[in-house]
Amino acid sequence: MSVLDLINGENDIKNIPQEDLPQLAAEIRDFLLEHVSKTGGHLASNLGAVELTMALHLILDFPMDKLIWDVGHQSYTHKILTGRKNDFDHLRQMGGISGFPKRSESACDCFDTGHSSTSISAGLGFAKARDLQGEFYSVVSVLGDGALTGGLAFEALNNASNLNTNFIIVLNDNRMSISENVGGVSRHLASIRMSDAYQEFKSDVHSSLDRLPYGERVVRRMNKAKSSLKQLLIPGMLFENMGITYLGPVNGHNLSDTVHILREAKKVNGAVIVHVQTDKGRGYLPAELRPNRFHGIGPFDRKTGYPLEAKKKPNYTDVFSAVICKIAEKNERIVAVTAAMTDGTGLRRFRKKYPSRFFDVGIAEGHAVTFAAGMAAAGLHPVFVVYSSFLQRGFDELVHDVCIQNLPVTFAIDRAGLVGADGETHQGILDLSYLSMIPNMTVMAPKNKWELAYMLWFCSRFEAPAAIRYPRGKAFDGLKEFRAPIEYGKSEWIFEERQIVLFAVGSMVETALDVRERLHAQGYGCSLVNVRFVKPIDREALQKALGDHSLLVTMEENILLGGYGDAVGAYLGSVDADIRLLRFGIDDRFIPHGSVPQLHEMAGLDAKHIAEMILEQFGTEQNPTAQARGDA
């Protein structure tokens, strides 16, 4: 029997003999590699946090004590140690366990997370609630060093400095977030890693002075000035000056040392930071060498580290990457901004070609938006490349700093729509709604890879805020022959028939082609319009649709409330149009993890469901065979 076989529920690790704990760590790493290589998931961060998680489970009692993971992509070992190892065969699959902490999954997950820099705020909330209710459990927040580039973490640290009861903040310092860490916090932590040099320096100076005449007097004066010296050289003074006790750094792969420092941290009456240094990808050479590649990965060959399915066609991120470099070559005003997602957003090539025009601001989306606004006000044309669900964190800045001033900032919004296995926190299903409500904002969505390129060129010459949203995954290469020039606020008629007209937004154009074929098979005529501009809506195209159609259908991979269908409904109502409207989008709910096709079916956005609903709504009021069809 392996040591891991003895772990079947929370706190079982406390029954493992100390001499067997290194073997348990090795078996956990092997378990993670075996399962993540089949299902995909977040690998490098979890391999690096094995001993740290074991140490936390040795000093905490679950589910009474509260452990909050920042983002949560390093929580796999926590799930294994709390009785969920048998569920890893279906990790991040529909109906299976999430890749992030989930309160609905286990009482040992006390707070749902999926975005960065939130754990200190949440942990402080738990600590305050504990004290107010007269309870006595421990609260521990774990965050990576990359999360400290987010302003929310510093807001929480500032607040935590007033706490007079125990609250442990574990800083898991692996020198990376997703891309390489940037900025002053990263440099400060790097200096702490060199702190042994300070200790040796101090010892050598004292020894030398002791051998000199009046040396003792000099040492005493130096000791009186130790505060100034500490300000310059002692590790953790950044946190100590905020009123937070600092312990560390400690080697996070040395289990006994990590357990010892965490037990010391439990004795502190106040907020305490435990600085733990770990290696991302620990124990698996491909992940150690390229931790960013193994941050979030699909199924792969464990022996080589290569994906099981080679990419056969470029995805939208690849298309963006190539086009933005071509645009920057022609237009020196173009600069690119990312929030710690250089690789994920396709900006690595841009960074290499135009290093002085590339800016990674860390995990700080709100700052990125206002930073871009400042550059735009000074005469540049910034392109902020960001995942849809991450841009939500910069909403206030979108309103106040970009759109009120009507500044030329382009937002290239990757991972828009349903993204799959990362679940609720990462589904990009709100952007059409929250962007469309902001005055001065233009919102666009391409039907295929060529149209994404055309829209990027259009925006590079557009002197106002604009957003282009495009999905995750391979770029659609159909409808190549339909290349009407991009005109501001104009949709594109692809097929013109009678009876039914489909207005499809971006990624839904491909689905609309399938829907149209299904309606044809039933004898119905069906026009197809590529919306292109979600805002402003094309009133002329809608007015044209009223002439030969009795049913207008909108299709969008976005929440229905406040989306394109709502805007169309408002327009039709304002002109008292004699046409029925059927809207397809996502109901008022969050969508869990699963494959994208499964999620489309769950949300009712698959072609089969849409066609069936159209036929049901259209009914038998008209004889379909009596309607002539003529493709334009």
Catalytic positions: 280, 365, 393
Q: What is the 3-state secondary structure (H, E, C) of 307-372?
A: ECCCCCCCEHHHHHHHHHHHHHHHCCCEEEEECCCCCCCCCHHHHHHCHHHEEECCCCHHHHHHHH
* Alpha-carbon span 175 to 146, nearest angstrom: 8
Which candidate, 111, 14, 5, places its Cα nearest to that of 55? 14
Closest by CA position to 534, among listed 605, 626, 419, 442? 442
| Side-by-side strand order, sheet with 442-444 | 358-360, 334-338, 381-387, 410-414, 466-469, 442-444, 533-535
Whether residue 484 contacts residue 492, with contact meaning beta carbons closer than 8 Å, is answered with yes
User: Which whole-number Å values give the CA distances from 30 to 24, 106, 140, 302, in the listed order?
Assistant: 10, 23, 27, 10
Placement of tokens 């207008």 in the chain: 552
- Tell me which residue of 4, 21, 8 sits closest to 55, measured CA to CA: 21
**Do β-strands 245-251 and 271-277 pair in parallel, antiparallel, or remain unpaired?**
parallel
For residue 414, how many C-alpha atoms fall within 13 Å in the half-sphere facing its CB?
A: 25
Give the residue from 632, 104, 73 showing the smallest Cα distance to 363. Answer: 73
d(CA 316, CA 295) in angstroms, rounded, equals 20
Task: Give the helix/strand (H/E) hosting 602.
Answer: helix 596-603
Count, in order, helices (H) and strands (E) of the chain.
Answer: 25, 17
**Which of 267, 270, 274, 272 shows the shortest CA–CA distance to 162?**
270
Closest alpha carbon to 143 in 125, 122, 165, 166? 122
Among 144, 131, 242, which residue's Cα sits nearest to residue 186?
144
Count of beta carbons in the 10 Å neighbourhood of residue 62: 22
Closest CA to 150 of 180, 127, 119, 128: 119
First and final C-alpha spacing in the chain = 70
Q: How many CA atoms lie within 13 A of 255 on its CB side?
A: 18
Cα 170 to Cα 273: distance, rounded to the nearest angstrom: 6
Sequence-distant (6+) residues with CB within 8 A of 226 are: none
Q: Using alpha carbons, select from 522, 523, 541, 516 the residue that is nearest to residue 628.
A: 523
